[in-house]
Amino acid sequence: MLDSLQYCQKHKRLKLYAYCLLINHLHLIFSVEQNNPENFIRDFKRNTTTQTHKLLKQDKELVHLNRLRYITINRKNTNFRLWQRSIFPEEIITQKFLEQKINYVDLNPTHHHITNYIEKYPYTSFHNHFCKHKNMLNTATLPLLP
């Protein structure tokens, strides 16, 4: 996931404002050139699914691979699914809403009881927003909204 997000930042003009990666889902606050987040999400999901499938086969992780195949039985046009079809995008149009979402995303590992000390969890943009050091992925300067 990190590699794919870094690739998109570098080559797909992804502006990542906040992120949190968890074991079974992720949260992103982002913008993309040409303001078409649906296309970005589709391509990101396709790319990460392909890469994950390839890595699982290469590492001979058959238990995980078969589990993902089992989940997709009776689904059209696929024999391997990593992502749910549903996503829950929200357009952020006010500064207050942006700040609420940044805080939610940055602190998400504590909401899921993954850690009691957010400072020790590496897969969140909390470090980029509230610490002196940066962590994992670079984040873009937050936009100013009405």
CATH, residue 30: 3.30.70.1290
Residue 70's pLDDT is 47
What digits encode the pLDDT tens for the residues 41-92? Answer: 888 888 888 887 787 777 665 665 555 554 544 555 455 666 777 777 888 9
Domain limits at 95? 2-50+90-130
Residue 96 lies in a domain: yes
Domain total of the chain:
1
Buried (b) or exposed (e) across 82-118, using 16+ Cβ within 10 A? beeeeeeeeebeeeeebeebbeebbbbbeeeeeeeeb
Residue 75 lies in a domain: no
Residue 52's pLDDT is 79
Residue 140 lies in a domain: no
Q: Bin 38: left if φ > 0, else alpha if -120 < ψ < 50, else beta.
A: alpha
Enter the pTM of the model. 0.81
Q: Which residue has the tokens 């794919």?
A: 4
Q: Tell me the mean pLDDT in the region 119-137.
A: 88
Residue 138 lies in a domain: no
Tell me the C-alpha distance between 9 and 5, whole Å: 6
Q: Has residue 118 got a pLDDT over 70?
A: yes
Tell me the C-alpha distance between 24 and 18, whole Å: 18
Q: Which residues pair with 21 in a beta bridge?
A: 26
